[in-house]
A = this chain, B = another copy of it.
Amino acid sequence: MSKRILVVGGVAGGASVAARVRRLDEDAEVVMFERGPHVSFSNCALPYHLSGQIEQSDDLVLMNPTIFQTQYNIDARVHSEVVKIDPEKKQIDVKHVQTGEITQEAYDKLVLSPGASPIVPPLPGVDHNHVFTVRNVVDIDRLNKFVQNDTVEEVTVVGGGFIGLEVAENLVHAGKKVTLVEAQNQVMAPFDYDMVQILHKEMSDKGIRLILDDGLASIEEDKLTLQSGTEIPSQAVVMSIGVRPETNLAKDAGLEIGKTGSIKVDHHYLTSDPHIYAVGDAIEVHHKLTHQKTRLALAGPAQRQARAAAGHIYGLPSRNTGVIGSSVVKIFDMNAASTGLNERMLKSLDYDYDVAYVIPSDKVGIMPGANQLHFKLLFEVPSGRILGAQAIGKGNVDKRIDVIATMITMNGTLEDLQETELTYSPVFGTAKDVVNFAALVGLNLLNGRYKQVKVDQVRELVENDAFIIDAREKGAYRMGHLKNAHHIPLSEFRERLDEIPEDRPVYIYCRSGQTSYNMTQALTNMGYENVFNISGSFLGVSYYEYFNDQEQNREPIVTRYNFN
């Protein structure tokens, strides 16, 4: 007898489960229920409708029920909300959204892919009709039509995650005056505070008013008020502070909920009921590096879960080594990618780790379009196992992070990474790719050949009159340098050793960390015992300080900023 397989939710995970079931079993009856009017739309592409990069909102819909029917023999029912599961009877209640009618559907296996819903805190004014969330095609269509009205000049985006940033950028492209409000002291949680300053600056430079460390208090017709009392004129507000897994259906059915508040599943995405699977943003998953359960609302892992769950219905085992959390975002001219754990997470997990922060050129410097690439590599001490990386720049940062993600998947170490032989042509990169270079720096740190201080320690050094050397040549130094730095170029230091003290620590920087590394090594080899390279060097410190100075209205420690 053929199996009857019901799927709750028709986007990403749900649609993938249904299609995979069909590929495994031509006879199965597959029905997919979706509350909204669309199945299988590109949720990640929604923000790009606001700038017109995706002209028609209809284009966001990848497959319609007719195609599911004719091509896959899948019954995709829209406007159909599953409101109850009866695990005993193996039956669900489906509410037909437009009529209110409720019908029952029996299943052999049920797969939940309900997703997660935007969090809207119960604050005064959040129910105004100029307040929006961005979850689906209907949402983005409504928001887009609203902001196209000329009376909407100012828009505030609340929340600086992926969706918040992408919505903010696309609204700027659409000609709006955009404010972005974030309750934390930084946007984009996957990045560390030092790296994310580059994104803060990019957003400011491109005209976004960025307000950090402040939260929404209330919304009125033509403005909103923050917890600090700051008022922001806004004719439209987009709420993107985060998502909450949709677990009500599962809870009501008595399915086990995990510690994270998401649906608990086993190795094969089976819930606590042996006939109900769950995948996607509503479940908690095993993290390969923390060894803990976590929530991860990303499309790639959802697809893999869908495949594994569908396979398991048919007795196919699948390997589940856990997620690592890889992501990338474009913010105006900057691309920012990350994978694995960042420093905040590593500290909270009490990992013994170290960091290599380098800023080389993303391709051969003389080629048109070459740009600096900020790259931060995190690794375990003493094993050298690679734990995470972050990369920001105008070039192909995603490819470097994908290499690190692959390394993490394979439990790779700095040794492995330094010898990884990547593609090279001056059009695409450098012979010693940034990931190889970062691995070498990491190995030198691990082997104690080299000591460093991090960008967040530099202000203290400057203010305490530490002995800091700017190792760059004259022209670069004149374009800006650290306050009180001693200017001793690499080309002169061997003749000016008498200026470098042996009885106190010496801190060295250049623009990108390579010149200063050479001087650090040379002085160490000469017998200087306390020589430190400034990690991230001038460019990293400049980015780090730039935004902090402005925000905290404090005395700059960088005499001038030269970000080019």
* Residues of A near any B CB (own CB < 8 A): 12, 19, 22-27, 42, 44-45, 48, 53-54, 59-60, 62, 67, 70-73, 162, 298-304, 307, 319, 321, 323-330, 335, 337-339, 364, 366-368, 396, 398-399, 401-403, 405-407, 409-410, 412, 415-416, 418-429, 431-433, 436, 440, 490-492, 494, 515, 517-518, 521-522, 525-526
Contacts and interface: CB of A to CB of B under 8 A. Distances in A.
Contacts of A405: 420-423
A468 B72 CA distance: 20
A423 B402 contact: yes
Nearest to A61: B366
A300 B326 CA distance: 26
A44 B419 contact: no
Contact of A409 (B23, B26, B416, B427): B416
A424 B330 contact: no
Contacts of A337: 423
Nearest to A426: B45
Contact of A330 (B12, B427, B526): B427
A261 B42 CA distance: 55
A211 to B, nearest CB: 25
B319 A424 contact: no
Contact of A42 (B45, B71, B426): B426
A522 B23 CA distance: 6
A540 B534 CA distance: 51
A416 to B, nearest CB: 6
A330 B407 CA distance: 26
A416 B410 contact: yes
Nearest to A27: B525
B403 A423 contact: no
A327 B339 CA distance: 25
Nearest to A42: B364
B424 A326 contact: yes
Nearest to A69: B491
B299 A431 contact: yes
Contacts of A526: 26
Given A45-B364, A398-B399, A423 B54 contact: no
Contacts of A366: 42, 45, 54, 59-60, 62
A424 B299 contact: yes
A334 to B, nearest CB: 12
A328 B424 CA distance: 6
25 contacts: A42-B426, A44-B424, A53-B368, A54-B366, A67-B491, A300-B424, A300-B431, A300-B432, A304-B418, A304-B421, A321-B419, A328-B423, A328-B425, A330-B425, A396-B398, A398-B429, A399-B399, A401-B423, A403-B406, A405-B420, A405-B421, A406-B407, A406-B412, A410-B410, A410-B416
A48 B22 CA distance: 51
A115 to B, nearest CB: 14
A404 to B, nearest CB: 9
Given A23-B521, A44-B426, A420 B406 contact: yes
A307 B439 CA distance: 13
Question: Looking at A402, A415, A518, which has the most chain B CB atoms within 10 Å of its CB?
Answer: A402
A433 B300 contact: yes
Contacts of A303: 431-432
A422 to B, nearest CB: 5
Question: Looking at A23, A429, A436, A526, which has the most chain B CB atoms within 10 Å of its CB?
Answer: A23
B423 A22 contact: no
Contact of A422 (B396, B402, B416, B515): B402
A327 B424 contact: yes
Given A45-B426, A525-B25, A410 B419 contact: no
Question: Looking at A364, A401, A419, which has the most chain B CB atoms within 10 Å of its CB?
Answer: A419
Contacts of A24: 521, 525
Contacts of A423: 326-328, 337-339, 398, 401-402, 405
A15 to B, nearest CB: 11
A498 B146 CA distance: 53
A323 B421 CA distance: 7
Contact of A421 (B48, B325, B431, B490): B325
B12 A300 contact: no
A515 B19 CA distance: 11
